[in-house]
Chain A
Amino acid sequence: MSAFASRAVKSGVGSGTKGISFMARKDEMETLVSKTPPPEGSKGAKGASAASKALITRNLRLAFGEVASEPVPDRFLDILGRMDEAEGKKQ
């Protein structure tokens, strides 16, 4: 996760002058920390636009697929192997 975060921070570097990028980030942090929905009447208050929904779904599937395509660690298969042993002892 730290790798993702550091990359995101890098993408913020070089956007405008130092002062403006700092303020932009402070503004964003406050938005994040407040965790309150935007005021009624702001654009898209009813929900994400269709384009945003499609973009979100696409990225969700990419992120999910990335993990799901990783090889399954042996330790999980070992646990299932122990199930066979336990079953063998019972019989």
Chain B
Amino acid sequence: MSAALATFKAELIELLPSLRAFARSLAHNPAQADDLVQDTLVKALANVSRFEPGTNLRAWLFTILRNHYYSQLRKSKREVEDADGKFAARLSTRPEQDGSVDLEDFKVAFAQLAPDHREVLTLVGASGCSYEEAANICGCAVGTIKSRVNRARKRLADLLGLDEEIDAMPVGGRNLEDTANV
């Protein structure tokens, strides 16, 4: 094996954990996420000659993974929408009184977000990508990434019941005046 290929492989192994985490944030279950990673690896190896040594391998791999994810999503659009509907029906989170949220509740709310929102939050908020790197991976402008991150955060805050007026959310649920208007 050539030295360049050996370096490529070593870096690839190092990136596998974050590639899996990125896949998990897009796919709705661990098995689907690992299938995404597997397909990404196969594609990456088949196209290894197209990768320029010394450039950003993480961005290259993340790009392959998200493009593959979206092409699969388009193929199974109906199925995914149905699944999202089921998740929405089960969500029932409320922030703690001290304003913190349970990590498991957070994951449920996160899963409600649209794929492009889950994607930017994971890239920028969790995996430490710069806005430029995220824009490169998603194939869009830096400004688009910035506004998408803001909208995604706002949506997630709404889902988690953060930033709500104190009197709109008494302990134990909404008050009777609120529910009467439903």
Residues of A within 8 A of B (CB): 1, 4-9, 11-12, 15-16, 20-21, 23-33, 37-38, 43-44, 47-49, 51-53, 55-57, 59-65, 67-70, 72-73, 75-77, 79-80, 83-84, 87-88
Contact = CB atoms under 8 A, between A and B. Distances in A.
Interface stretch (B49-57, B61-69, B168-176): B168-176
B103 A80 contact: no
Contacts of B105: 7-8, 11
A8 B13 contact: no
A48 B153 contact: yes
A55 B103 CA distance: 10
Contact of A55 (B1, B16, B100, B155): B100
Q: Which of B5, B13, B162 has the most CB of A within 10 A?
A: B162
Given A8-B92, A47-B154, 18 more contacts: A1-B28, A20-B172, A24-B173, A27-B174, A29-B91, A30-B182, A32-B159, A44-B154, A44-B163, A48-B162, A49-B157, A52-B163, A55-B100, A62-B103, A63-B25, A63-B110, A70-B17, A83-B5
A58 to B, nearest CB: 9
Given A5-B90, A55-B100, A68-B20, A47 B41 contact: no
A87 B80 CA distance: 39
Assign chain B's interface to a size class. 35 or more
A79 B45 contact: yes
Main secondary structure of the interface of A (DSSP, over half): helix
Contacts of A51: 99, 162
Contact of A73 (B34, B110, B121, B173): B34
A8 B90 contact: yes
B141 interface: no
Given A48-B153, A63-B110, A12 B92 contact: yes
A5 B18 CA distance: 24
B156 interface: yes
Interface stretch (B70-78, B122-130, B132-140): B122-130
B178 interface: yes
